[in-house]
Chain A
Amino acid sequence: MTVPRFWRKQQSRYNLIGTTCSTCGQYFYPPRNFCPECRRDGKINEHKFKGTGKVVTYSIIRSASDQFSLLTPYVIAIIELDEGCRLTSQVICEIDAVYIGMPVKQTFRRLGTDGGSGAIFYGTKFIPA
Chain B
Amino acid sequence: MRDVAVIGVGCTKFGEKWDTSFRNLFVEAGGLALEDGNLSGDQIEEIFVGNMSAGRFVEQEHVGALIADYAGLATDNIPSTRVEAACASGGLAFRQAYTTVASGMADVVVAAGVEKMTDVGTEMTTDVLAAAADREWEGIAGATFPGLYAMIATLYMDRYGLTREQLAQVAVKNHANGEKNPNAQFRKAITLDTVLQSTLVADPLRLFDCSPVTDGAAAVILAPLERAREFTDTPVRVLGSSQASSTIALHDRRDICTLDATVAAGNRVFEMAKVERKDIGFIEVHDCFTIAELCAIEDLGFCKKGEAGKLTEEGVTALNGSLPVNPSGGLKACGHPVGATGIKQVYEVVRQLRGEAEGRQIDADIGMTHNVGGTGATVVCSILGRV
**The residue from B123, B141, B201 contacting A65, defined by CB atoms under 8 A apart:** B123
User: Is B343's beta carbon under 8 Å from chain A?
Assistant: no
**Is A57 within 8 A of B202, CB to CB?**
no
CB distance from A93 to the nearest CB of B (A): 14
B residues near A, CB below 8 A? Answer: 122-124, 126-127, 130, 134-144, 146-147, 150-155, 158, 199-205, 249-252, 256
Within 8 A of B (CB), among A50-92: 56-69, 71, 74, 76-78, 86-90
Knowing A57-B256, A88-B250 touch, does A30 contact B137 (C-beta < 8 A)?
yes
Q: How far is the CA of A24 from the CA of B199 in the complex (A)?
A: 46
User: Is A9's beta carbon under 8 Å from chain B?
Assistant: yes
State the main secondary structure of chain B at its contact with A: helix
Q: How far is the CA of A84 from the CA of B122 in the complex (A)?
A: 37
**Is B127 within 8 A of A88, CB to CB?**
no
Q: How far is the CA of A89 from the CA of B122 in the complex (A)?
A: 23
**Is B250 within 8 A of A63, CB to CB?**
no
Q: A65, A86, A111, A112: which has the most chain B beta carbons within 10 Å?
A: A65
How many chain A residues touch B (CB < 8 A): the figure is 35
User: Is A1's beta carbon under 8 Å from chain B?
Assistant: yes
Q: How far is the CA of A111 from the CA of B95 in the complex (A)?
A: 40
Knowing A88-B141, A90-B141 touch, does A57 contact B154 (C-beta < 8 A)?
yes
**Is B201 within 8 A of A76, CB to CB?**
no
Q: How far is the CA of A87 from the CA of B140 in the complex (A)?
A: 12
A-B contact pairs, 19 of them (CB 8 A): A1-B139, A30-B249, A57-B151, A57-B152, A57-B155, A59-B151, A59-B153, A59-B205, A63-B126, A64-B144, A68-B142, A69-B123, A86-B251, A86-B252, A87-B137, A88-B134, A88-B137, A90-B142, A121-B140
Closest to A80 in B: B251
Q: Please indicate the chain B residues that have their CB under 8 angstroms from the CB of A61 in the complex.
A: 142-144, 147, 202
Knowing A59-B151, A76-B142, A78-B256 touch, does A5 contact B123 (C-beta < 8 A)?
no
